Chain A
Amino acid sequence: MSLSRREFLKATAVSGGGLMLSFSLGGCAASDNGYRESGGEGRWTPNAWLEITDQNGITLTIARVEMGQGTVTGMTTLVAEELDVPPDTLKTRFAPVGDAYRNPLYKLQLTGGSTSLATSWQPLREAGAAARIMLERAAARTWNVEARRCTGRDGRVWHPDGETSLSYGQLAALAAHETVPDPVPLRPRSEWRYIGKTNTRHDAEIKSTGQAEYGIDVDLPDMVYAVMTRPPRLGLRVEGFNADTVRAMPGVIDVVETERGVAIVADKYWRARKAQDALEIVWDETDALDLDVDHVFETYARAADDDPGETEREDGDVEQARSQAGQVLEAEYRVPFLAHATMEPMNATARVNENGIEVWAPTQAPDLGRIAAARVTDFSPDEVTIHTTWIGGGFGRRLTQDYIEEVAAIAFQVRRPVKLLWSREDDMRHDVYRPAMLHRLSATLSDEQITGWDHQIVGPQVLNWYARNAAAAQFPWAPKFLYDSLARVGVMAEGIATPKDTSAIEGAVEYPYAAPNVRVRHTHVDAGIPISYWRSVGHSHNGFVVETFMDEVAHSLGRDPYKFRRDLLKQKPGDLAVLDRAAKLGDWSRPVPEGRARGIAIHRSFGTLVAQVVEAGIEGGAIRVYRVACVVDCGQVVNPDVVRMQMESGILFGLTAALYGEIEFEQGAVKQGNFDDYRLLSMYDLPEMTIDIIDSEASPTGVGEPGVPPVMPALGNALFALTGKRQRNMPFKVEV
């Protein structure tokens, strides 16, 4: 995206003396969920602000959230580089949504899709540079010297004599009267002091001392506590409940019915929980969705038989390749529903007054939170303010605003500041899941070559569900009575956002290997189980399937899986470099210790390419991962340690899914409830991880998600090499 700076970078004076630059970071999550911002036409509104004052130093306010992925650290580094100040001297704030921050030109404010750094790479550096140049000009005017001979460095502007200097704070008020430079020259790579070199995290200390304030930590005067009882099975509705009995319980203030269940409000959290034991709800089972997880896959299989689906990619003619093939290899893969299981369970706090409602929440999509709160109260979106907090894990879960909807509905009824907290079981059983998917693949082989690749993806699309939450946010002019119908129609029918939902097919349509005939189809089928985005979304299953089936093809041709991939990537030097380096880092060509085997996989997601070699074995009947070698190409690195951190995190996130991850439904109820039956990898399972980053000058791409997809197939491929049994279903199982 290229924006005219004159139009998109504005300077104003801060009352009390100081410089404020307002600017705009590109739309976030544009590539993966189908939403795009509505273009540059219309009124421009900023979503980032850089403020320099004498009293408060330098503050960067951003309309993004931090959930562990290092966004804040990366962003401050970019501004600091051009301003020439150490990144840790910048203070950061998260922009609330609503009132002053409300955006009249609709744009979804959300953080997801590993896009934060990619979209802010240019504008953040420009803002920093513009501020520095304006400070230099202000200093030049003061000293009556040429501006180009003044230098901003380490938070001060230096006189040409090299001895006299004024601090940025001292100059800020004057600088506000300078014009914004256009164009804004950026520092050449060779002069960078912080980009690619900074390794500290902006938030490490407050997160090591218990001082970071998460959603769960919000405390308001006279606040009360709410817990919600939701339908134990899909599709149930509240018919009635014993309100009087529960109201008589110690500490209970009120018991209220909402769309999503029955809420108990008490003076203390524990009293609300205890009163919940006494709550008896009669459920209306008319629309109960009595399905088991086996039914879901049966439904998928039937759909796959009946409907070949929409063709998403077609190169050559796979049918013809099939008729001429010496050998046809076929396989079916299944991946389960998965929960997000963020360590901080869903929660939100709200306060209603005569002018509107304020919500404090750990959310990835404050814009949608505003709509969610408006929908269940009498307030218009203008009257809703969302304050975002530090987030105890997101992974896509907090793009859905159900918890904000709940707290708003409760606060609106009880008219008291109220904090809603989900139990772990609430969180596990009322998640919006990574969809279960079925995949059917066939490869045609002739003369030791792959001649055709045919992939049928079977399952739901996330956007169909997400639109229920997001549709109304797309149409800020819509009266509230239209919200539900907008949600039903979804944004797709309106054609305004022109989204293409790639959630089911991403990571499969991009099949990267040379093959004359490639077909990728998607059979759309939805079993009715709520789904959403999950760290790396479609790549989380397509990466597994494509890279496992490639391994099947290699083995059936009697080829080394690494060399086989290598031959088919010859036309792609970037891919080849990453693959080769991973093979080297993972000792691919060296002997494997007794009882172990290695597997390899490479996958591109969100613009970032990652290859991994996994060394695994079986100990006491359980899969054991010993080593993971990982090579990543994410363009220009802003903070190398954040990249390494995200790769480590992605690897272990993917391994957890491969080893343990499974949400099962029994008669419409989720079986798993806590960490004893939805296991997370612990330190005991920790493999040795080595991360290597490709040196690149290309624009940075995201790192929050791309570490996840390749590790699952790399592990499965290692297990095949070890046992001869192919892992086509997740989680993986080995014969004891």
Chain B
Amino acid sequence: MAIKLTVNGQLRQLDIEADTPLLWVLRDELGLKGTKFGCGKGLCGACTVHLDGSPARSCSTPVSLAEGREVTTIEGLAPEGELHPLQLAWVEHNVPQCGYCQSGQIMSAAHLLSYNAAPSNDDIVAAMSGNLCRCRTYARIHAAIKSVSKHGEADA
């Protein structure tokens, strides 16, 4: 079917089977490889993108559900040539090891901060516990989010 969606601010038109997960459309049709495949069942969060500003597991979101909506991926999180404050914090805190899950982690964290500029420790854990990391960079992810939040690191 013909599908129209906005990806990172750009209107895209595709002819694709409606049940194709958004993940494969982003990666293979639009060349946006920053969003990763981890489990195919929404269990690990590696494929997290924003759909109209809310986090979505793109591996289990049929592209038809994205029709007419706005998709933001890791590539579109910050204006071109700039880093999102979270990305700066990720570098500052040496978060990534293998790095594979980090796009999804950052997208989940960005959503958290979009509605809660000063998350508590529990808020961070609640928002991030669905994003798995086999290198277990959780302590640094937590610290990096905290550093960007309004509370800063002071009361971490």
**Shortest Cβ gap from A354 to chain B (Å):** 28
When C-beta atoms are compared, the residue in chain A nearest to B128 turns out to be A683
User: Is the beta-carbon distance between A209 and B40 smaller than 8 angstroms?
Assistant: no
User: Is the beta-carbon distance between B135 and A649 smaller than 8 angstroms?
Assistant: yes
**Shortest Cβ gap from A206 to chain B (Å):** 8
Q: Which residues of A contact B44 (CB under 8 A)?
A: 343, 424, 675, 680
Q: Which residues of B contact A723 (CB under 8 A)?
A: none
User: Is the beta-carbon distance between A682 and B99 smaller than 8 angstroms?
Assistant: no
B contact face: mostly helix, strand, loop, or mixed:
loop
Contacts A208-B102, A217-B33, A680-B134 given; does A645 touch B94 at CB 8 Å: yes
Q: Which residues of B contact A69 (CB under 8 A)?
A: 97
Q: Which residues of A contact B34 (CB under 8 A)?
A: 209-211
| B125 interfacial by beta-carbon distance below 8 Å | yes
Q: How far is the CA of A684 from the CA of B75 in the complex (A)?
A: 28
Q: Which residues of A contact B17 (CB under 8 A)?
A: 250, 270-271
Q: Which residues of A contact B13 (CB under 8 A)?
A: none
Q: How far is the CA of A207 from the CA of B83 in the complex (A)?
A: 12
What class of interface size applies to chain A in its complex with B? 35 or more
Q: Which residues of B contact A54 (CB under 8 A)?
A: none
User: Is the beta-carbon distance between B94 and A648 smaller than 8 angstroms?
Assistant: no
| A594 interfacial by beta-carbon distance below 8 Å | no
Q: Which residues of B contact A216 (CB under 8 A)?
A: 33, 36-37
Give the residues from 82 to 97 in chain B that come closer than 8 angstroms, CB to CB, to chain A: 83, 87, 90-91, 94-97
A contact face: mostly helix, strand, loop, or mixed:
loop
The 0/1 profile, CB within 8 Å of B marked 1, for residues 632-651 of chain A is 00000000011001001101
Q: Which residues of A contact B37 (CB under 8 A)?
A: 216, 345, 421
User: Is the beta-carbon distance between A393 and B39 smaller than 8 angstroms?
Assistant: no
Most chain-A CB neighbours within 10 Å: which of B21, B40, B134, B138? B134
Contacts A269-B24, A645-B94, A683-B129 given; does A675 touch B99 at CB 8 Å: no
User: Is the beta-carbon distance between B136 and A653 smaller than 8 angstroms?
Assistant: yes
Q: How far is the CA of A270 from the CA of B40 in the complex (A)?
A: 11
User: Is the beta-carbon distance between A270 and B20 smaller than 8 angstroms?
Assistant: yes
Select which of B28, B39, B90, B141 is within 8 A of A683 by beta carbon.
B141
Q: How far is the CA of A324 from the CA of B111 in the complex (A)?
A: 68
Contacts A217-B33, A343-B36, A674-B43 given; does A681 touch B95 at CB 8 Å: no
Contacts A270-B21, A675-B43 given; does A208 touch B96 at CB 8 Å: yes
Select which of A67, A394, A424, A653 is within 8 A of B39 by beta carbon.
A424
Q: Which residues of B contact A649 (CB under 8 A)?
A: 97, 135-137
Q: Which residues of A contact B142 (CB under 8 A)?
A: 683, 686
Q: Which residues of B contact A680 (CB under 8 A)?
A: 44, 132-134
| A391 interfacial by beta-carbon distance below 8 Å | yes
Q: Which residues of A contact B31 (CB under 8 A)?
A: 219
| B41 interfacial by beta-carbon distance below 8 Å | yes
User: Is the beta-carbon distance between B39 and A392 smaller than 8 angstroms?
Assistant: no
Contacts A653-B136, A683-B141 given; does A343 touch B98 at CB 8 Å: yes
User: Is the beta-carbon distance between A424 and B98 smaller than 8 angstroms?
Assistant: no
**Shortest Cβ gap from B91 to chain A (Å):** 4
User: Is the beta-carbon distance between B134 and A341 smaller than 8 angstroms?
Assistant: yes
When C-beta atoms are compared, the residue in chain A nearest to B97 turns out to be A68
Q: How far is the CA of A392 from the CA of B137 in the complex (A)?
A: 13
| A652 interfacial by beta-carbon distance below 8 Å | yes
Q: Which residues of A contact B99 (CB under 8 A)?
A: 68, 203, 206-208, 212, 390, 392
User: Is the beta-carbon distance between A683 and B98 smaller than 8 angstroms?
Assistant: no
| A485 interfacial by beta-carbon distance below 8 Å | no
**Shortest Cβ gap from A555 to chain B (Å):** 30
| A31 interfacial by beta-carbon distance below 8 Å | no
Q: Which residues of B contact A416 (CB under 8 A)?
A: none
**Shortest Cβ gap from B113 to chain A (Å):** 15
| A268 interfacial by beta-carbon distance below 8 Å | yes
When C-beta atoms are compared, the residue in chain B nearest to A642 turns out to be B94
| B38 interfacial by beta-carbon distance below 8 Å | yes
Most chain-A CB neighbours within 10 Å: which of B99, B100, B140? B99
| A698 interfacial by beta-carbon distance below 8 Å | no
When C-beta atoms are compared, the residue in chain B nearest to A655 turns out to be B136
**Shortest Cβ gap from B98 to chain A (Å):** 3
Most chain-A CB neighbours within 10 Å: which of B21, B41, B133, B136? B136
User: Is the beta-carbon distance between B91 and A204 smaller than 8 angstroms?
Assistant: yes
User: Is the beta-carbon distance between A268 and B141 smaller than 8 angstroms?
Assistant: no
User: Is the beta-carbon distance between B130 and A682 smaller than 8 angstroms?
Assistant: yes
Q: How far is the CA of A70 from the CA of B34 in the complex (A)?
A: 21
Give the residues from 396 to 452 in chain A that come closer than 8 angstroms, CB to CB, to chain B: 421, 423-425
When C-beta atoms are compared, the residue in chain B nearest to A651 turns out to be B136
Q: Which residues of A contact B24 (CB under 8 A)?
A: 268-270
| B101 interfacial by beta-carbon distance below 8 Å | yes
Q: How far is the CA of A212 from the CA of B21 in the complex (A)?
A: 23
Q: How far is the CA of A341 from the CA of B44 in the complex (A)?
A: 11
Q: How far is the CA of A283 from the CA of B38 in the complex (A)?
A: 29
Q: How far is the CA of A199 from the CA of B94 in the complex (A)?
A: 8
Q: Which residues of B contact A683 (CB under 8 A)?
A: 124-125, 128-129, 131, 138, 141-142
Most chain-B CB neighbours within 10 Å: which of A201, A211, A683? A683
Q: How far is the CA of A421 from the CA of B40 in the complex (A)?
A: 12
Q: How far is the CA of A345 from the CA of B75 in the complex (A)?
A: 22
Give the residues from 110 to 125 in chain B that come closer than 8 angstroms, CB to CB, to chain A: 124-125
User: Is the beta-carbon distance between B20 and A268 smaller than 8 angstroms?
Assistant: yes
Q: Which residues of B contact A199 (CB under 8 A)?
A: 94
**Shortest Cβ gap from A81 to chain B (Å):** 19
The 0/1 profile, CB within 8 Å of A marked 1, for residues 57-72 of chain B is 0000000000000000
When C-beta atoms are compared, the residue in chain A nearest to B37 turns out to be A216
User: Is the beta-carbon distance between A343 and B136 smaller than 8 angstroms?
Assistant: no
| B2 interfacial by beta-carbon distance below 8 Å | no
User: Is the beta-carbon distance between B87 and A209 smaller than 8 angstroms?
Assistant: yes
Give the residues from 1 to 59 in chain B that come closer than 8 angstroms, CB to CB, to chain A: 17, 19-21, 24, 27-28, 31-41, 43-44, 46
Q: How far is the CA of A618 from the CA of B95 in the complex (A)?
A: 29
Contacts A68-B98, A209-B34 given; does A393 touch B135 at CB 8 Å: yes
Contacts A423-B40, A676-B43 given; does A204 touch B94 at CB 8 Å: yes
| A696 interfacial by beta-carbon distance below 8 Å | no
Q: How far is the CA of A686 from the CA of B132 in the complex (A)?
A: 12
Q: How far is the CA of A675 from the CA of B128 in the complex (A)?
A: 16
Q: List 24 interface pairs A-B (beta carbons < 8 Å), by A numbering.
A: A69-B97, A199-B94, A200-B91, A203-B96, A204-B95, A206-B99, A207-B99, A208-B90, A208-B95, A212-B99, A214-B100, A216-B36, A219-B33, A343-B36, A343-B46, A424-B38, A424-B40, A645-B94, A648-B137, A674-B41, A675-B41, A683-B124, A683-B141, A686-B138
Chain B contact residues, CB within 8 Å of chain A: 17, 19-21, 24, 27-28, 31-41, 43-44, 46, 73-75, 83, 87, 90-91, 94-103, 106, 124-125, 128-142
Top 7 nearest A-B pairs by Cβ distance?
Answer: A210-B34, A207-B99, A68-B98, A392-B100, A652-B136, A68-B97, A207-B96
Query: Knowing that A268-B20, A648-B139 are A-B contacts, what are 18 other residue pairs whose CB atoms are under 8 Å apart, sorted by A's residue number?
Result: A203-B99, A209-B74, A211-B34, A216-B37, A250-B17, A270-B17, A342-B134, A343-B38, A424-B44, A652-B136, A652-B138, A656-B136, A675-B43, A675-B132, A680-B132, A682-B132, A683-B131, A684-B125
